[in-house]
Chains A and B, each alone.
Chain A
Amino acid sequence: MKPSIYLLIALELSFFLTACSQNKISSVDFPATEQLFVSEVKPIDGVSMRYPFRVRKNDSCLYVMDLHASEYYVHQFEYPSMKHRRSFAKRGKGPGELLDAENIRLNARADCWILDANNTTLDCFQNNGDSLFQGIVLDKRLIRSLDFDLYADSLFIVPDYTGTHRFDILGPDGKIRESRGQIPLKKKDEDIPAPVYAQAWRGFLDYNPETGLLAIATQLGEVIEIYDVPGDSLVKVIYGKEGEPRFQYRGGYAVPDGIMGYSDVWIGKENIYALFWGHSFKDIRQNQSIEGGNRIQVFDLAGNPVKQYFLDRYITGFCIDEANGIITGLDVNSNQPVIKFCHGRPDPPSHAYR
Protein backbone atom coordinates (compact mmCIF):
# COMPACT_ATOMS: atom_id res chain seq x y z
CA MET A 1 0.00 0.00 0.00
CA LYS A 2 1.35 3.43 -0.89
CA PRO A 3 2.56 5.64 1.96
CA SER A 4 0.18 8.37 0.80
CA ILE A 5 -2.73 6.10 1.63
CA TYR A 6 -1.47 5.65 5.18
CA LEU A 7 -1.20 9.42 5.44
CA LEU A 8 -4.75 9.80 4.27
CA ILE A 9 -5.93 7.22 6.79
CA ALA A 10 -4.09 9.00 9.59
CA LEU A 11 -5.55 12.35 8.59
CA GLU A 12 -9.03 10.92 8.38
CA LEU A 13 -8.75 9.25 11.78
CA SER A 14 -7.66 12.47 13.37
CA PHE A 15 -10.53 14.28 11.66
CA PHE A 16 -13.05 11.75 13.00
CA LEU A 17 -11.67 11.91 16.51
CA THR A 18 -11.84 15.71 16.54
CA ALA A 19 -15.43 15.67 15.30
CA CYS A 20 -16.39 13.13 17.95
CA SER A 21 -14.94 15.17 20.81
CA GLN A 22 -16.71 18.33 19.62
CA ASN A 23 -20.01 16.44 19.63
CA LYS A 24 -19.51 15.34 23.24
CA ILE A 25 -21.14 18.39 24.80
CA SER A 26 -21.59 17.92 28.53
CA SER A 27 -25.10 16.68 28.98
CA VAL A 28 -27.24 15.86 31.94
CA ASP A 29 -29.09 12.57 31.83
CA PHE A 30 -32.09 12.41 34.07
CA PRO A 31 -32.68 8.90 35.42
CA ALA A 32 -36.44 9.50 35.47
CA THR A 33 -39.00 11.64 33.70
CA GLU A 34 -42.59 12.34 34.60
CA GLN A 35 -45.41 13.97 32.69
CA LEU A 36 -47.36 16.46 34.78
CA PHE A 37 -50.81 17.71 33.89
CA VAL A 38 -52.61 20.72 35.28
CA SER A 39 -54.65 19.49 38.23
CA GLU A 40 -56.35 22.79 38.97
CA VAL A 41 -56.67 26.25 37.53
CA LYS A 42 -56.86 28.94 40.22
CA PRO A 43 -59.18 31.52 38.69
CA ILE A 44 -58.42 35.15 39.30
CA ASP A 45 -61.32 37.52 38.98
CA GLY A 46 -60.97 41.25 38.66
CA VAL A 47 -57.20 41.25 38.26
CA SER A 48 -55.62 41.56 34.87
CA MET A 49 -51.95 40.74 34.36
CA ARG A 50 -49.89 41.18 31.23
CA TYR A 51 -46.93 38.96 32.06
CA PRO A 52 -47.13 37.09 35.38
CA PHE A 53 -43.57 36.09 36.12
CA ARG A 54 -43.09 35.33 39.80
CA VAL A 55 -45.28 33.55 42.32
CA ARG A 56 -44.67 33.33 46.04
CA LYS A 57 -46.74 31.64 48.68
CA ASN A 58 -46.94 31.52 52.42
CA ASP A 59 -49.46 29.78 54.67
CA SER A 60 -52.35 32.07 53.91
CA CYS A 61 -51.62 34.06 50.78
CA LEU A 62 -50.33 33.80 47.25
CA TYR A 63 -48.48 36.69 45.61
CA VAL A 64 -48.05 37.12 41.88
CA MET A 65 -45.65 39.61 40.31
CA ASP A 66 -46.49 41.01 36.88
CA LEU A 67 -43.30 41.79 34.96
CA HIS A 68 -45.13 44.11 32.57
CA ALA A 69 -47.64 45.68 34.92
CA SER A 70 -49.77 48.48 33.60
CA GLU A 71 -50.64 49.67 37.12
CA TYR A 72 -49.54 47.45 40.02
CA TYR A 73 -46.66 45.03 39.98
CA VAL A 74 -47.78 42.73 42.78
CA HIS A 75 -51.14 41.14 43.48
CA GLN A 76 -51.95 39.36 46.70
CA PHE A 77 -54.64 36.69 46.98
CA GLU A 78 -55.94 34.73 49.90
CA TYR A 79 -55.06 31.10 49.47
CA PRO A 80 -56.59 28.72 48.58
CA SER A 81 -59.73 30.75 47.88
CA MET A 82 -57.87 33.13 45.51
CA LYS A 83 -59.93 36.02 46.77
CA HIS A 84 -58.12 39.17 45.79
CA ARG A 85 -56.84 40.94 48.89
CA ARG A 86 -54.83 43.82 47.49
CA SER A 87 -52.57 45.05 44.72
CA PHE A 88 -49.50 47.08 45.56
CA ALA A 89 -46.19 48.35 44.20
CA LYS A 90 -47.60 50.93 41.84
CA ARG A 91 -45.84 51.52 38.57
CA GLY A 92 -44.68 55.08 38.05
CA LYS A 93 -42.10 57.77 38.58
CA GLY A 94 -43.63 59.32 41.68
CA PRO A 95 -42.50 58.85 45.30
CA GLY A 96 -43.00 55.28 46.46
CA GLU A 97 -43.62 54.08 42.91
CA LEU A 98 -41.59 51.57 40.93
CA LEU A 99 -40.14 51.79 37.44
CA ASP A 100 -39.58 48.07 37.21
CA ALA A 101 -39.99 44.88 39.23
CA GLU A 102 -37.61 41.97 38.71
CA ASN A 103 -38.50 39.66 41.56
CA ILE A 104 -40.35 39.50 44.87
CA ARG A 105 -39.45 37.76 48.12
CA LEU A 106 -41.41 37.27 51.32
CA ASN A 107 -39.72 37.42 54.69
CA ALA A 108 -40.89 35.69 57.86
CA ARG A 109 -43.21 38.59 58.67
CA ALA A 110 -44.81 38.31 55.20
CA ASP A 111 -43.35 41.65 54.21
CA CYS A 112 -42.79 41.72 50.46
CA TRP A 113 -39.41 42.82 49.12
CA ILE A 114 -39.23 43.88 45.47
CA LEU A 115 -36.19 44.58 43.32
CA ASP A 116 -36.64 47.65 41.11
CA ALA A 117 -33.71 47.38 38.70
CA ASN A 118 -34.39 50.65 36.92
CA ASN A 119 -34.50 52.65 40.15
CA THR A 120 -31.71 50.42 41.53
CA THR A 121 -33.62 49.96 44.76
CA LEU A 122 -34.89 47.19 46.96
CA ASP A 123 -38.33 48.12 48.21
CA CYS A 124 -40.26 46.67 51.12
CA PHE A 125 -44.04 46.64 51.41
CA GLN A 126 -45.29 45.54 54.78
CA ASN A 127 -47.84 42.79 55.13
CA ASN A 128 -50.54 45.14 56.31
CA GLY A 129 -49.62 48.20 54.29
CA ASP A 130 -50.29 49.31 50.74
CA SER A 131 -47.60 51.93 50.45
CA LEU A 132 -43.86 51.65 50.34
CA PHE A 133 -42.47 51.09 53.82
CA GLN A 134 -38.76 51.10 53.12
CA GLY A 135 -36.62 51.67 50.06
CA ILE A 136 -32.94 50.81 49.95
CA VAL A 137 -30.77 52.38 47.28
CA LEU A 138 -28.33 49.80 45.96
CA ASP A 139 -24.59 50.21 45.67
CA LYS A 140 -23.72 51.99 42.40
CA ARG A 141 -20.87 49.54 41.84
CA LEU A 142 -23.48 46.84 41.17
CA ILE A 143 -24.30 48.56 37.85
CA ARG A 144 -27.77 47.04 37.56
CA SER A 145 -28.93 44.05 39.54
CA LEU A 146 -31.56 41.89 37.88
CA ASP A 147 -32.37 39.43 40.65
CA PHE A 148 -32.08 39.02 44.39
CA ASP A 149 -32.85 36.90 47.41
CA LEU A 150 -32.90 37.48 51.14
CA TYR A 151 -29.83 36.35 53.07
CA ALA A 152 -29.30 35.94 56.79
CA ASP A 153 -31.39 38.31 58.83
CA SER A 154 -31.20 41.55 56.94
CA LEU A 155 -28.82 40.98 54.07
CA PHE A 156 -29.35 40.36 50.39
CA ILE A 157 -27.75 38.31 47.61
CA VAL A 158 -27.67 39.62 44.06
CA PRO A 159 -25.98 38.33 40.89
CA ASP A 160 -22.92 40.32 39.93
CA TYR A 161 -23.23 42.26 36.66
CA THR A 162 -19.73 43.64 36.54
CA GLY A 163 -18.50 40.26 35.34
CA THR A 164 -15.68 40.27 37.87
CA HIS A 165 -17.53 38.04 40.31
CA ARG A 166 -20.60 35.84 40.24
CA PHE A 167 -22.68 37.21 43.10
CA ASP A 168 -22.57 39.88 45.80
CA ILE A 169 -23.76 39.98 49.36
CA LEU A 170 -25.30 43.29 50.31
CA GLY A 171 -25.80 44.83 53.70
CA PRO A 172 -29.06 46.31 55.01
CA ASP A 173 -27.91 49.60 53.50
CA GLY A 174 -27.64 48.09 50.01
CA LYS A 175 -23.87 48.39 49.95
CA ILE A 176 -21.65 45.52 48.81
CA ARG A 177 -20.22 43.57 51.73
CA GLU A 178 -18.67 40.73 49.81
CA SER A 179 -18.23 39.67 46.21
CA ARG A 180 -17.81 35.99 45.48
CA GLY A 181 -17.32 33.43 42.75
CA GLN A 182 -16.55 33.73 39.05
CA ILE A 183 -18.54 33.18 35.90
CA PRO A 184 -17.71 29.53 35.07
CA LEU A 185 -16.42 30.20 31.58
CA LYS A 186 -14.63 27.30 29.95
CA LYS A 187 -12.80 29.70 27.68
CA LYS A 188 -12.62 33.48 27.89
CA ASP A 189 -12.12 35.83 24.96
CA GLU A 190 -9.95 38.63 26.28
CA ASP A 191 -11.38 41.03 23.69
CA ILE A 192 -14.82 40.78 25.27
CA PRO A 193 -15.25 43.00 28.35
CA ALA A 194 -16.31 41.38 31.61
CA PRO A 195 -19.70 43.17 31.82
CA VAL A 196 -20.63 41.69 28.43
CA TYR A 197 -20.02 38.21 29.79
CA ALA A 198 -22.14 39.16 32.80
CA GLN A 199 -24.97 40.16 30.44
CA ALA A 200 -24.78 36.85 28.59
CA TRP A 201 -24.53 34.85 31.79
CA ARG A 202 -27.47 36.63 33.40
CA GLY A 203 -28.84 34.17 35.91
CA PHE A 204 -31.89 33.72 38.09
CA LEU A 205 -31.05 32.82 41.64
CA ASP A 206 -32.50 31.29 44.74
CA TYR A 207 -31.08 30.91 48.22
CA ASN A 208 -32.26 28.47 50.87
CA PRO A 209 -31.19 29.48 54.40
CA GLU A 210 -31.86 25.97 55.75
CA THR A 211 -29.33 24.35 53.45
CA GLY A 212 -27.11 27.40 52.93
CA LEU A 213 -27.18 26.74 49.20
CA LEU A 214 -27.46 29.28 46.43
CA ALA A 215 -28.42 28.22 42.89
CA ILE A 216 -27.92 30.38 39.81
CA ALA A 217 -29.59 29.23 36.57
CA THR A 218 -28.63 30.99 33.34
CA GLN A 219 -31.28 32.64 31.16
CA LEU A 220 -29.29 31.76 28.05
CA GLY A 221 -27.84 28.32 27.52
CA GLU A 222 -28.21 25.57 30.10
CA VAL A 223 -25.97 26.04 33.13
CA ILE A 224 -26.78 25.84 36.83
CA GLU A 225 -24.27 26.77 39.50
CA ILE A 226 -24.62 25.72 43.11
CA TYR A 227 -22.77 27.54 45.87
CA ASP A 228 -22.45 26.89 49.56
CA VAL A 229 -22.71 30.47 50.77
CA PRO A 230 -21.87 30.06 54.49
CA GLY A 231 -19.05 27.71 53.51
CA ASP A 232 -17.90 30.10 50.75
CA SER A 233 -17.43 27.32 48.22
CA LEU A 234 -18.65 26.23 44.82
CA VAL A 235 -20.55 22.95 45.08
CA LYS A 236 -21.06 22.18 41.41
CA VAL A 237 -21.53 23.62 37.95
CA ILE A 238 -24.08 21.65 35.94
CA TYR A 239 -23.72 22.01 32.19
CA GLY A 240 -26.81 20.84 30.38
CA LYS A 241 -27.00 19.63 26.80
CA GLU A 242 -27.17 23.19 25.43
CA GLY A 243 -24.06 24.21 27.30
CA GLU A 244 -22.81 27.70 28.03
CA PRO A 245 -24.79 30.82 27.11
CA ARG A 246 -24.22 31.75 23.49
CA PHE A 247 -24.20 35.34 22.34
CA GLN A 248 -22.88 37.70 19.74
CA TYR A 249 -20.68 40.55 20.90
CA ARG A 250 -22.09 43.50 18.99
CA GLY A 251 -21.89 47.21 19.66
CA GLY A 252 -20.58 46.60 23.16
CA TYR A 253 -23.47 44.35 24.10
CA ALA A 254 -24.17 40.64 24.43
CA VAL A 255 -26.87 39.90 21.85
CA PRO A 256 -28.54 36.60 22.82
CA ASP A 257 -27.98 33.64 20.57
CA GLY A 258 -28.56 29.93 20.86
CA ILE A 259 -31.46 29.16 23.17
CA MET A 260 -33.53 30.60 25.97
CA GLY A 261 -32.54 28.59 29.00
CA TYR A 262 -33.93 28.88 32.50
CA SER A 263 -36.40 31.41 33.85
CA ASP A 264 -36.79 30.31 37.48
CA VAL A 265 -35.02 28.18 40.06
CA TRP A 266 -35.91 27.09 43.57
CA ILE A 267 -34.03 25.22 46.27
CA GLY A 268 -36.09 23.00 48.51
CA LYS A 269 -35.16 20.89 51.51
CA GLU A 270 -34.46 17.86 49.35
CA ASN A 271 -33.95 19.02 45.77
CA ILE A 272 -33.23 21.91 43.45
CA TYR A 273 -35.83 22.69 40.80
CA ALA A 274 -35.17 24.72 37.65
CA LEU A 275 -37.66 25.76 34.96
CA PHE A 276 -36.17 25.25 31.50
CA TRP A 277 -37.43 26.64 28.17
CA GLY A 278 -35.04 25.39 25.48
CA HIS A 279 -36.51 27.51 22.66
CA SER A 280 -34.05 28.65 20.03
CA PHE A 281 -33.89 32.38 19.37
CA LYS A 282 -34.37 31.56 15.71
CA ASP A 283 -37.77 30.06 16.55
CA ILE A 284 -38.59 32.91 18.91
CA ARG A 285 -37.84 35.51 16.21
CA GLN A 286 -40.05 33.63 13.78
CA ASN A 287 -42.89 33.35 16.34
CA GLN A 288 -42.55 29.59 16.30
CA SER A 289 -42.38 29.04 20.04
CA ILE A 290 -44.66 29.45 23.01
CA GLU A 291 -43.65 31.83 25.78
CA GLY A 292 -42.47 29.90 28.79
CA GLY A 293 -40.87 26.59 29.62
CA ASN A 294 -42.51 23.21 30.05
CA ARG A 295 -39.65 21.35 31.70
CA ILE A 296 -38.76 21.38 35.37
CA GLN A 297 -35.38 19.82 35.97
CA VAL A 298 -34.80 18.36 39.40
CA PHE A 299 -31.39 17.88 41.01
CA ASP A 300 -30.41 16.77 44.47
CA LEU A 301 -28.59 19.21 46.72
CA ALA A 302 -25.24 17.96 45.44
CA GLY A 303 -26.27 18.80 41.89
CA ASN A 304 -26.92 15.25 40.69
CA PRO A 305 -29.84 14.90 38.27
CA VAL A 306 -32.87 13.25 39.82
CA LYS A 307 -35.80 13.69 37.48
CA GLN A 308 -37.24 15.89 34.74
CA TYR A 309 -40.88 16.90 34.75
CA PHE A 310 -42.63 17.61 31.44
CA LEU A 311 -45.59 19.91 31.91
CA ASP A 312 -48.62 20.14 29.66
CA ARG A 313 -48.41 23.93 29.88
CA TYR A 314 -45.66 26.49 29.37
CA ILE A 315 -44.94 28.56 32.47
CA THR A 316 -42.64 31.47 33.32
CA GLY A 317 -42.33 31.06 37.08
CA PHE A 318 -43.28 28.62 39.80
CA CYS A 319 -43.24 27.82 43.49
CA ILE A 320 -43.21 24.37 45.03
CA ASP A 321 -44.79 22.76 48.05
CA GLU A 322 -42.20 20.03 48.24
CA ALA A 323 -43.80 18.14 51.11
CA ASN A 324 -47.13 17.79 49.33
CA GLY A 325 -45.82 17.50 45.80
CA ILE A 326 -47.62 20.58 44.49
CA ILE A 327 -46.20 22.93 41.87
CA THR A 328 -47.91 26.28 41.33
CA GLY A 329 -47.03 27.78 37.98
CA LEU A 330 -47.76 30.90 35.93
CA ASP A 331 -48.99 30.38 32.38
CA VAL A 332 -48.46 33.71 30.65
CA ASN A 333 -50.30 32.39 27.57
CA SER A 334 -53.58 32.00 29.45
CA ASN A 335 -56.05 34.53 30.78
CA GLN A 336 -56.14 32.45 33.98
CA PRO A 337 -52.41 32.13 34.57
CA VAL A 338 -52.23 30.54 38.04
CA ILE A 339 -52.21 26.77 37.64
CA LYS A 340 -51.42 23.82 39.83
CA PHE A 341 -49.66 20.57 39.07
CA CYS A 342 -49.50 17.55 41.31
CA HIS A 343 -46.81 14.89 41.14
CA GLY A 344 -47.67 11.41 39.95
CA ARG A 345 -51.20 12.05 38.73
CA PRO A 346 -52.14 9.00 36.62
CA ASP A 347 -54.69 10.47 34.23
CA PRO A 348 -54.80 13.88 32.61
CA PRO A 349 -57.85 15.89 33.71
CA SER A 350 -60.17 17.71 31.33
CA HIS A 351 -59.12 21.32 30.98
CA ALA A 352 -61.59 24.05 31.91
CA TYR A 353 -59.36 26.88 30.79
CA ARG A 354 -56.50 27.44 28.43
Chain B
Amino acid sequence: MKTKSWLILSILMIGFLINLPFVSSQEYNSLDLENIEALSAGENGTPHCLGLGSLDCPVSYVKVQVVSYY
Protein backbone atom coordinates (compact mmCIF):
# COMPACT_ATOMS: atom_id res chain seq x y z
CA MET B 1 0.00 0.00 0.00
CA LYS B 2 2.74 2.41 0.98
CA THR B 3 4.62 1.46 -2.17
CA LYS B 4 1.55 2.07 -4.24
CA SER B 5 1.05 5.49 -2.69
CA TRP B 6 4.64 6.47 -3.30
CA LEU B 7 4.35 5.26 -6.89
CA ILE B 8 1.28 7.36 -7.51
CA LEU B 9 2.90 10.36 -5.88
CA SER B 10 5.96 9.94 -8.03
CA ILE B 11 3.90 9.80 -11.21
CA LEU B 12 2.06 12.93 -10.16
CA MET B 13 5.29 14.74 -9.39
CA ILE B 14 6.72 13.79 -12.79
CA GLY B 15 3.63 15.10 -14.48
CA PHE B 16 3.85 18.33 -12.50
CA LEU B 17 7.50 18.85 -13.36
CA ILE B 18 6.88 18.24 -17.09
CA ASN B 19 4.39 21.08 -17.15
CA LEU B 20 6.63 23.57 -15.39
CA PRO B 21 7.68 26.48 -17.72
CA PHE B 22 10.86 25.49 -19.52
CA VAL B 23 13.71 27.82 -18.72
CA SER B 24 16.31 27.78 -21.39
CA SER B 25 19.92 28.37 -20.71
CA GLN B 26 20.26 30.57 -23.77
CA GLU B 27 22.56 33.49 -23.61
CA TYR B 28 20.93 36.85 -23.93
CA ASN B 29 22.53 39.30 -26.26
CA SER B 30 22.94 42.91 -25.33
CA LEU B 31 19.73 43.97 -27.07
CA ASP B 32 17.71 41.42 -25.14
CA LEU B 33 19.23 42.60 -21.88
CA GLU B 34 18.39 46.20 -22.69
CA ASN B 35 14.84 45.10 -23.42
CA ILE B 36 14.56 43.32 -20.11
CA GLU B 37 15.83 46.39 -18.28
CA ALA B 38 13.37 48.56 -20.15
CA LEU B 39 10.47 46.34 -19.21
CA SER B 40 11.41 46.54 -15.57
CA ALA B 41 11.93 50.27 -15.80
CA GLY B 42 8.24 51.11 -16.09
CA GLU B 43 5.95 52.42 -18.79
CA ASN B 44 7.57 55.79 -19.43
CA GLY B 45 9.58 56.42 -22.58
CA THR B 46 8.99 55.99 -26.26
CA PRO B 47 9.53 53.04 -28.60
CA HIS B 48 12.80 52.74 -30.44
CA CYS B 49 12.65 52.08 -34.16
CA LEU B 50 15.46 50.40 -36.08
CA GLY B 51 16.34 49.31 -39.59
CA LEU B 52 14.58 49.37 -42.92
CA GLY B 53 11.35 47.43 -43.11
CA SER B 54 7.58 47.53 -43.26
CA LEU B 55 6.64 48.04 -39.61
CA ASP B 56 5.13 51.47 -38.95
CA CYS B 57 7.13 53.29 -36.30
CA PRO B 58 4.51 54.93 -34.08
CA VAL B 59 6.89 57.74 -33.18
CA SER B 60 8.61 58.75 -36.41
CA TYR B 61 6.02 57.36 -38.88
CA VAL B 62 8.84 55.78 -40.86
CA LYS B 63 8.74 52.14 -41.94
CA VAL B 64 11.25 50.12 -39.97
CA GLN B 65 12.39 46.58 -39.36
CA VAL B 66 12.19 46.56 -35.59
CA VAL B 67 10.15 48.48 -33.02
CA SER B 68 11.41 47.90 -29.51
CA TYR B 69 11.08 49.60 -26.18
CA TYR B 70 13.74 51.38 -24.16
Contacts and interface: CB of A to CB of B under 8 A. Distances in A.
B12 to A, nearest CB: 5
A15 B16 contact: yes
B65 A250 contact: no
Given A251-B47, A251-B69, A68 B16 contact: no
B17 to A, nearest CB: 11
Contacts of B59: 253
Interface string B13-31: 0011001000000000101
B12 A219 contact: no
B67 to A, nearest CB: 5
A56 interface: no
A51 B31 contact: no
A219 B54 contact: yes
B61 A117 contact: yes
Given A50-B52, A117-B61, A5 B9 contact: yes
Contact of B65 (A53, A144, A146, A284): A284
A68 B52 contact: yes
A1 B66 contact: no
A51 B52 CA distance: 8
A213 B19 CA distance: 43
Contacts of A255: 47, 67-69
A15 B31 contact: no
B56 interface: yes
Interface in B27-70: 29, 31-32, 38-39, 43-47, 52-56, 58-59, 61, 63, 65-69
Q: Secondary structure of the B side of the interface?
A: mixed
B47 A8 contact: no
B43 A251 contact: yes
Contacts of B1: 1
A1 B58 contact: no
Given A284-B65, A284-B66, A256 B55 contact: yes
A144 B4 contact: no
A100 B60 CA distance: 12
Contacts of B12: 8-9, 12
A118 B39 CA distance: 30
Interface in A167-219: 199, 202, 219
Nearest to A68: B52
Contacts of B69: 248, 250-251, 255
Nearest to A99: B61
Nearest to A195: B58
Given A255-B67, A286-B29, A291-B53, A250 B45 contact: yes
A251 B46 contact: yes
A12 B66 contact: no
Contacts of B55: 219, 256, 260
A132 interface: no
Nearest to B41: A250
Given A12-B12, A199-B56, 10 more contacts: A8-B9, A12-B16, A15-B15, A15-B16, A16-B15, A16-B19, A199-B58, A251-B44, A263-B54, A285-B32
30 contacts: A1-B1, A1-B5, A8-B12, A15-B15, A15-B19, A19-B19, A50-B52, A51-B54, A51-B63, A53-B54, A68-B63, A117-B56, A118-B61, A199-B56, A250-B43, A250-B45, A250-B69, A251-B44, A251-B69, A253-B47, A253-B58, A254-B58, A255-B68, A255-B69, A282-B32, A284-B65, A285-B32, A286-B31, A291-B53, A316-B54
Interface of A: 1-2, 5, 8-9, 12, 15-16, 19, 50-51, 53, 67-68, 100, 117-118, 144, 146, 199, 202, 219, 248-251, 253-256, 260, 263, 281-282, 284-286, 291, 316
Q: Which 6 A-B pairs have the closest CB atoms?
A: A250-B69, A253-B58, A12-B12, A255-B69, A19-B19, A253-B47
